Amino acid sequence: MAVLYVTATPIGNLQDLSPRAVETLRAADWILAEDTRVTMKLCQVFDLHARLISCHRHNEENIAASLAEKMLEENLTAALVTDAGTPCISDPGNEVVAACIEREIPVLPIPGCCAAVSAISISGFDAREFAFYGFLPRNGRELRAKLKDLPKGPAVAALHESPFRIIELTEAVADVLPQARMAVCCDLTKLHEKTIYGSPRETLEKLKSNPKTEKGEYCVILDLHACRAEEQEAPETGCARSLEARLTDLMKEGCSLREAQEKLVTSGEKKNAVKQAALQLKKWFSPVEEN
């Protein structure tokens, strides 16, 4: 009978591959792999000999239906894997799963590693509810707009980030969500795994002081409880004052008033509203003329 096994693979330490996963991969007719070169190494370590078929983000939409049809016609067993972690979680595979479901081919999970869940488990945050966002937008304005919306969802957010953009992401978090708490995990389960805890500013300082920051893969967990509380407590008419407070905070950190204005506009605030807040600050702090 045709079956698709969605099979989690290690995110670093090969010993995390479960005995059940090994047996599933060993018994499969096909292994549908995100990158056959990566999965070939896993096959060599565990003496696996199933046929490897490339199934990645750029081809799965075109081949999913034909793969499912072939499985059905020939009663083939397939194991779906990605380079690391659980398929379909910020990784390819959902098209193949959907094609199998449509043809009533059983789809069974072989659970195991997931970087986001692993990172949440060591964050120390109350994650009875959380949201997984994968990679956030690269564009600065879009990134800050997305961060600004995060407190509207669950109070814990899990993100993925490249080592080449982790500092840029943390700078944006510090600007938009200064009250957040962060757990920044790098190379989970690998030899040099490391987790940084702290406020966005504290985390940013630690990342900038590490000469090896641009190495490894990052999973970032944000605790937004304080951000949500701050948003709920803000009066409905307090938008202008909120902008003034944020301008003041940025100036305390060393920005000029102009630089502080530019940062708020880049974060998604309306230019005219920021300008009015800056004018109000100038009024408050301008010298009082004596008669």
The H or E element spanning position 107 is: strand 107-110
The distance from CA 92 to its chain's CA centroid, rounded to whole angstroms, is: 15
Each residue's pLDDT, cut to its tens digit, for the chain (291 residues) gives 999 999 999 999 999 999 999 999 999 999 999 999 999 999 999 999 999 999 999 999 999 999 999 999 999 999 999 999 999 999 999 999 999 999 999 999 999 999 999 999 999 999 999 999 999 999 988 999 999 999 999 999 999 999 999 999 999 999 999 999 999 999 999 999 999 999 999 999 999 999 999 999 999 999 999 988 766 655 544 443 468 888 888 888 888 888 888 888 877 778 888 888 888 888 777 654 444
From 45, 35, 37, 36, select the one nearest 13 (Cα to Cα): 45
d(Cα 73, Cα 286) in Å, to the nearest integer? 81
Which residues have a Cβ under 8 Å from the Cβ of 125 and sit 6 or more positions away? 156, 181, 183, 221, 223
Location of each CATH 3.40.1010.10 domain in the chain? 3-112
Give the separation between CA 122 and CA 9, rounded to whole angstroms. 20
Going by CATH, does the domain composed of 3-112 fall within 3.40.50.300?
no
Residues carrying CATH 3.30.950.10, the chain: 116-230
pLDDT at 291: 43
pTM score, whole prediction: 0.77
pLDDT value of position 232: 61
pLDDT score recorded for residue 161:
96
**Distances from the Cα of 142 to the Cαs of 23, 138, 149, 155, 257, in angstroms?**
44, 7, 11, 21, 23
Give dist(CA 224, CA 14) in Å, integer.
33
Q: What angle do CA 88, 92, 94 make, to 5 degrees?
A: 55
116-230 — its CATH code?
3.30.950.10
**Which structure tokens are listed for 74?**
């020939």
b or e along 129-168 (b: 16 or more beta carbons within 10 Å of the residue's beta carbon)?
ebebbeebeeeeeebbbbbbebbeebbbbbbbbebebbbe
Q: To which H or E segment does residue 81 belong?
A: strand 77-81
Q: How far apart are CA 104 and CA 183, in angstroms?
A: 41
Within 10 A of 191 (CB to CB), how many other CB atoms are there? 7
Q: Which residues contact 102 (CB under 8 A, 6 or more apart)?
A: 68
What residues have CB less than 8 Å from 276, skipping those under 6 apart?
240
CB 146 within 8 A of CB 136: yes
pLDDT at 286: 67
User: What is the pLDDT, as a whole number, of residue 131?
Assistant: 97
pLDDT of 267: 75
Task: Give the contacts of 210 (CB within 8 A, at least 6 positions apart).
Answer: none
Burial class (CB in 10 A: 0-12, 13-18, 19+), 43: middle
